[in-house]
Amino acid sequence: MQLNVNGRSHDLGDIDPSTPLLWVLRDTLGLVGTKYGCGVGQCSACTVHVNGAPVQSCQLPVQSVADQRITTIEGVAGEDGALHPVQQAWIDEDVAQCGYCQAGQIMSAVALLESNPKPTDRDIDSAMSRNICRCGTYNRIRNAIHVAAGQAPKTGSAS
Amino acid sequence: MSYEPKFTIDPYVPDYLKESVAAMNTAAARVSRRQFIKVTGFVGGGLVLGFTMGPGARRAEAQHDAHGAAAAKFTPNAYVQITPDGTVVLYAKNPDVGQGVKTSLPMIVAEELDADWSKVRVEQSVISMELYGPQFAGGSTAIPMNYDILRRAGAVARAMLVSAAAQSLDVPESELTTEPGYVVHARSGRRLGYGELTEQAATLPVPDAASVKLKDPKDFRLLGKRITGVDNVKVVTGQPMFGIDQRLPNMQYATYVKAPAIGARAVSANLDHVKSMPGVKDAFLMEAKGNAIEFNPAGDTMLSGVAIVADSTWAAFRAARELQVQWDESGASSDSWSGAVAEAQRLAGQAPQATLGETGNVDAAFADADKTVEGFYTYPFVSHADLEPQNCTAWCKDDGSVEIWAPTQTPQAAVDAVAALLDVPKDKVTLHQLRGGGGFGRRLANDSVVEVAAISKRIGAPVKAQWSREDDMHFDYYRPGGFHSFKGAIDASGKLAAFEDHFITFTRGGSMPISAATLSPQEFPANVLPNARIAQSAMPSKMPSGPWRAPGSNAIAFAVQSFLHECAVAANRDHLEFLLEIMGEPRWLAPGNPQALNTERAATVIKLAAEKAGWGRTMPRGRGLGLAFHFSHAGHFAEVAEVSVDDNRRLTVHKVTVAGDIGPIVNLSGAENQCQGSVIDGFSTAMGLEITFENGRVEQNNFDRYPILRMNKAPVVDVHFVESDYAPTGVGEPALPPAAPAICNAIYAATGHRVRTLPLTKEGFSV
């Protein structure tokens, strides 16, 4: 089976086709940025893009996405390593606490801005409420999305 | 000399952490006075200062040598290394589980070093009591325990760089100043970068940390600013750093299945079937060791269960679903939460089993009361629910040494536990500290570490043991539930004249409550009122319990601060005025002890929160403001919630205004983030979270039945700091306790309904 992740094709050999995409990414391909949180599609820490749409990779048998275009958190920055505006906003607004959910949050936010470049608070809440942040960084996630969309000034954390 | 830190900690912090603080108070000065002055040799033409101590020090040398090994390095102590290119490597000593110490602790060093923060690289230090004293994440203690030590570590390095520059430039030290990354001789206009000075500095004697000159805080360039987390680039690009991300050559993947009834013993299982499943390499029963339901970070205890070892996490998890185990439940818990609630109500109607503390004449004050107010409050067990389920990687090697990769909050205790389990000397156990995806107290316990060490020992290979979400929720050291039967006496002038709390808790059968289920005889407001009595009754429990963010306080504040509002309402008084009156005259209850309430600081934050929230505004029907205050972990915090409640008890928390006094702020961004997260955690937990159990079996096992609050229900959290001149203290915990009572008091203001049972869903509320 072939899997296309972040623009690269991977031969998965005779992998069990029912294996969730999450575990193929993490254990087979070593792309551990995508996180396991609940395994039942509740927390969205495992969010990746399939053909640009955000999906919960813990719920997807790998066979269902063979030959589809998969993007993980490791593939969000440009080829030259330039951060995506959402990633940069996450740094500038110092969103993360433990950081564990943030890959999934960023994948949801990137997908939101691609379909809705100037989201309202309500749009953001609607798109982002599938993702749990146990640390409660929701205020900053919302603000960082506005910053990435050019709708709010940076708060300005030095790095 | 204030160098030796004296720091006592919150009465609700577990004994293990109290011991760590005691060790810090006696050992920190000793450790840091060993001045690391042994010259270990020439490297690339320069001198490297090494360490004069034991195996931990050798590990630290290896840690330091990893950077720029071919060049002259300046390593004045275990926290600082500067290489000739001007790179400053600062070592962060404590585990980071989201509280931000990997950024804030090095900031303190960088401030006194006058480092250029943009050229600082922060690395997690080795785990070594000898080098660093206690290393743990708990009790909001990192800042108060380390602030002075880290300032001096930076100042020592800066002093040596200045001395080196004085020699190089042949000018008196008194003519030199520093700017970030440079020593400056203003008179001649010459500047030397820190990197240019490393070789010279490395030859100098290390000055006494106790007498090195520190900056005047008004000259701080870095502390108090907003600094983004040092690992944020890794976070946003998905780089490996959490426990779950650990991978090793030939690493196996394990899961460890324990009994539904807490404490049951595995007797037999369909191991042959499990071992025949795809990817499964081994499966075996493991015996219980010690008493694993007792919270003990250094304990080499484990529950009985079945280990499944496979070639991937998924293969192990899938096999676990087909595992069938015969459990012997004869020693297991048969506890029932609904039974405990009924028993607590019965006990509340009886005389308390013990009086913990009494001041004044409580009975006389009640006899003279104009009004008596009574309220019975209930809160449930709750789970930590770290988003990264518990996990650990271990490798028991053939030579008897052990390596552990753990996202633990108590790495030194984890080493103790593994050494005891495997009966090897502690210096044979090397623990690599990894980032924790949330902690909240869960990772104080090292049960996941002990389990994987036992599995690795058995199979003789490196192995990562991963708990499923269901395991994580089912096998926690829960925040214990509890019950408070309050009485308050209102005198003819409308004052709170007396207060009584009959606390109903759990024990293992004796009089000592289970972990994190204690009540201090000096709990507020007993510590400020003329007449107060704290009494206790208890019932037996066989459920695991332990510290959960702001232990004790996280639940007591809900009950006490709600009841004090009941008293204010009964007295027909404004809550703000009533609360300030209870605080009384400005005084520090134990002067010099940061863990003692200071009523002046309390009144200041209460007034500030009220002012910032617009206290006293007329609110439309169904909308209200609620106030609460709580002092814990050396932090004074007041919060005002603004809520709406509709006719179907659908709740909206619009905004929570926070006013806190933790002294000077180290990292404004991090501190504010902790407060926002604490309030949202407090609301999330109060709103809909509870762990229930019947017949010893926990009834929740994933987020569908343990609904962590989501973004669309999260309030705006507006944070204000007083920034008083007291010594700086921690902020991982103290902003949490006032959130629930502020919201519940706002619900009363909006509706006239008094919430006495959490979670709010129990009383018909929804979001």
Q: Check CB contact under 8 Å for B387 and A37.
A: yes
Closest residue of A to B245, CA-based? A32
How close does chain B come to A46, measured CA to CA in Å?
A: 11
In a 13 Å sphere around the CA of B204, the CA atoms on its Cβ side amount to: 26
Report residue B696's pLDDT band, with 50, 70 and 90 as the boundaries: very high
Q: Which single residue is written with the structure tokens 């004869």? A: B330
**Separation between Cα atoms, residue B396 and residue B457, nearest integer Å:** 5
Q: Check CB contact under 8 Å for A155 and B226.
A: yes
- ipTM for the whole predicted complex goes beyond 0.85: yes
Report residue B74's pLDDT band, with 50, 70 and 90 as the boundaries: confident
Provide CB contacts within 8 A for B740, sequence distance 6+: B557, B558, B628, B682, B683, B685, B686, B758
The SS3 of residue B343 is helix
Amino acid type, B388: E
How close does chain A come to B706, measured CA to CA in Å?
A: 10
Nearest to B238 among A72, A131, A140 (CB): A72
Angle at B699 (CA atoms; ends B698, B700), nearest 5 degrees: 100
Q: List the structure tokens of B585.
A: 């005259």
- Residue B712: burial class (beta carbons within 10 Å; 0-12, 13-18, 19+): middle
Q: Check CB contact under 8 Å for A36 and B313.
A: yes
How close does chain A come to B708, measured CA to CA in Å?
A: 7
- State the pLDDT at residue B16: 65
Above pLDDT 70, what percent of chain B? 91
Interface test with A, best of B120, B225, B228 (most A CBs within 10 A): B228
Q: A15 at the B interface (CB within 8 A)?
A: no
Q: Check CB contact under 8 Å for A129 and B711.
A: yes
pLDDT tens, B340-354? 999 999 999 999 999
Closest residue of A to B719, CA-based? A139
Long-range pairs for A54-59 at CB < 8 Å and ≥24 separation? A54/A107, A54/A108, A54/A111, A56/A130, A57/A20, A57/A21, A57/A22, A57/A25, A58/A20, A58/A21, A58/A22, A59/A20
Residue B432 phi/psi, 5-degree rounding, is -95, 120
**Separation between Cα atoms, residue B154 and residue B192, nearest integer Å:** 18
Closest residue of A to B310, CA-based? A27
**Separation between Cα atoms, residue A5 and residue A2, nearest integer Å:** 10
Chain A residues within an 8 Å CB radius of B717: 139
Q: Do the strands B532-540 and B305-310 form a parallel or antiparallel pair, or are they unpaired? A: unpaired
* CA nearest neighbour of B86 among B216, B193, B240, B183: B193
- Residue B719: burial class (beta carbons within 10 Å; 0-12, 13-18, 19+): buried
Q: Do the strands A2-5 and A69-71 form a parallel or antiparallel pair, or are they unpaired? A: parallel
**Which of residues 80 through 109 in chain A touch B, CB cutoff 8 A?**
83, 87, 90-92, 94-103, 106
Q: Check CB contact under 8 Å for A138 and B714.
A: yes
- Quick one: how far is CA B360 from the chain centroid? 36
Nearest to A40 among B226, B679, B704 (CB): B704
**Separation between Cα atoms, residue B213 and residue B163, nearest integer Å:** 13
Q: List the structure tokens of B1.
A: 């000399």
pLDDT tens, B644-667? 999 999 999 999 999 999 999 999
User: Are the C-beta atoms of A135 and B735 separated by less than 8 Å?
Assistant: no
User: Are the C-beta atoms of B82 and B194 separated by less than 8 Å?
Assistant: yes
Nearest to B237 among A77, A94, A132 (CB): A77
Q: Is the dihedral of CA B304, B310, B313, B319 positive or negative?
A: negative
Angle at B331 (CA atoms; ends B330, B334), nearest 5 degrees: 85
Where helices occur in A40-151 by DSSP H, the ranges are 85-92, 102-115, 121-128, 138-148
**Separation between Cα atoms, residue B408 and residue B557, nearest integer Å:** 28
**Separation between Cα atoms, residue B59 and residue B429, nearest integer Å:** 12
User: Are the C-beta atoms of B739 and B682 separated by less than 8 Å?
Assistant: yes
Chain A residues within an 8 Å CB radius of B709: 136
Does pLDDT of B192 surpass 90?
yes
**Separation between Cα atoms, residue B346 and residue B483, nearest integer Å:** 11
Report residue B18's pLDDT band, with 50, 70 and 90 as the boundaries: confident
**Separation between Cα atoms, residue B568 and residue B571, nearest integer Å:** 5
Q: List the structure tokens of A125.
A: 């809440």
* CA nearest neighbour of B505 among B537, B529, B532, B534: B537
**Separation between Cα atoms, residue B325 and residue B269, nearest integer Å:** 4
- State the pLDDT at residue B625: 98
Q: How far is CA B290 from CA A41, B266, B445, B480, in A?
A: 36, 15, 14, 22
* CA nearest neighbour of B677 among A140, A88, A147: A140
Q: If you average pLDDT over residues B84-94, what whole number do you get?
A: 96
User: Are the C-beta atoms of B355 and B534 separated by less than 8 Å?
Assistant: yes
- Quick one: how far is CA B61 from the chain centroid? 29
Q: A14 at the B interface (CB within 8 A)?
A: no
- State the pLDDT at residue B75: 87
Q: If you average pLDDT over residues B537-552, what whole number do you get?
A: 97
Closest residue of A to B107, CA-based? A159
How close does chain B come to A149, measured CA to CA in Å?
A: 17
Nearest to B469 among A37, A95, A142 (CB): A37
User: Are the C-beta atoms of B500 and B487 separated by less than 8 Å?
Assistant: yes
Q: Check CB contact under 8 Å for B676 and A140.
A: yes
Where helices occur in B390-468 by DSSP H, the ranges are 411-422, 447-459
Q: Check CB contact under 8 Å for B238 and A92.
A: no
User: Are the C-beta atoms of B94 and B412 separated by less than 8 Å?
Assistant: no
* CA nearest neighbour of B529 among B345, B360, B738, B284: B360
Q: If you average pLDDT over residues B252-271, what whole number do you get?
A: 97
Comparing A49-58, B28-37, B63-72, B265-274, the range with the smallest average pLDDT is: B28-37
Does pLDDT of B46 surpass 90?
no
Q: Check CB contact under 8 Å for B438 and A133.
A: no
Nearest to B253 among A27, A45, A106 (CB): A27
- Quick one: how far is CA B688 from the chain centroid? 22
CB atoms near residue B297 (< 10 Å): 28
Chain A residues within an 8 Å CB radius of B702: 38-40, 42
Closest residue of A to B239, CA-based? A33
Nearest to B676 among A16, A39, A136 (CB): A136
Nearest to A30 among B235, B247, B670 (CB): B247
**Separation between Cα atoms, residue B78 and residue B250, nearest integer Å:** 33
In a 13 Å sphere around the CA of B233, the CA atoms on its Cβ side amount to: 8
Angle at B633 (CA atoms; ends B631, B635), nearest 5 degrees: 50
Q: List the structure tokens of B492.
A: 């003819």
How many interchain CB pairs under 8 A, A with B?
205
Does pLDDT of B38 surpass 60?
no
- State the pLDDT at residue B59: 57
- Three-state SS for B478-537 is EECCEEEEEEEEECCCCCEEEEEEEEEEEECCCCCECCCCCCCCCCCCCCCCCCEEEEEE
How close does chain A come to B95, measured CA to CA in Å?
A: 11
Q: Is the peptide bond before B217 cis (omega within 30 degrees of 0)?
A: no
Angle at B726 (CA atoms; ends B724, B732), nearest 5 degrees: 85
Diameter over CA atoms, chain A: 50
How high does pLDDT run on average in chain B?
A: 93
How close does chain A come to B175, measured CA to CA in Å?
A: 31
Closest residue of A to B466, CA-based? A36
The SS3 of residue B306 is strand
Q: If you average pLDDT over residues B284-289, what whole number do you get?
A: 98
Q: Check CB contact under 8 Å for A40 and B98.
A: no
Nearest to A39 among B229, B231, B469 (CB): B469
B328: enclosing H helix or E strand: strand B325-328
Does pLDDT of B359 surpass 50?
yes
Closest residue of A to B246, CA-based? A32
Does pLDDT of B178 surpass 90?
yes
Chain A residues within an 8 Å CB radius of B232: 90-91, 94-96, 99, 159
Q: If you average pLDDT over residues B466-494, what whole number do you get?
A: 98
Q: Check CB contact under 8 Å for A157 and B385.
A: no
Q: If you average pLDDT over residues A105-127, what whole number do you get?
A: 98
How close does chain B come to A67, measured CA to CA in Å?
A: 22
Q: Check CB contact under 8 Å for A136 and B439.
A: no
Greater confidence (B766 vs A159) lies with: B766
According to DSSP, residue B663 is labeled S
Q: Check CB contact under 8 Å for B703 and A43.
A: yes
**Separation between Cα atoms, residue A43 and residue B652, nearest integer Å:** 22
**Separation between Cα atoms, residue B599 and residue B582, nearest integer Å:** 9
Q: A155 at the B interface (CB within 8 A)?
A: yes
Nearest to B438 among A36, A39, A98 (CB): A98
pLDDT tens, B531-542? 999 999 999 999
CB atoms near residue B694 (< 10 Å): 13
Closest residue of A to B438, CA-based? A98
Does pLDDT of B39 surpass 70?
no
Nearest to B228 among A28, A91, A126 (CB): A91
Chain B residues within an 8 Å CB radius of A45: 387
| Sheet containing B623-632, strands listed edge to edge, beginning at the edge strand earlier in sequence | B623-632, B635-645, B651-661, B716-721
* CA nearest neighbour of B431 among B462, B457, B405, B407: B405
Interface test with B, best of A18, A22, A27 (most B CBs within 10 A): A27
Nearest to A158 among B96, B227, B245 (CB): B227
User: Are the C-beta atoms of B447 and B300 separated by less than 8 Å?
Assistant: no
Report residue B305's pLDDT band, with 50, 70 and 90 as the boundaries: very high
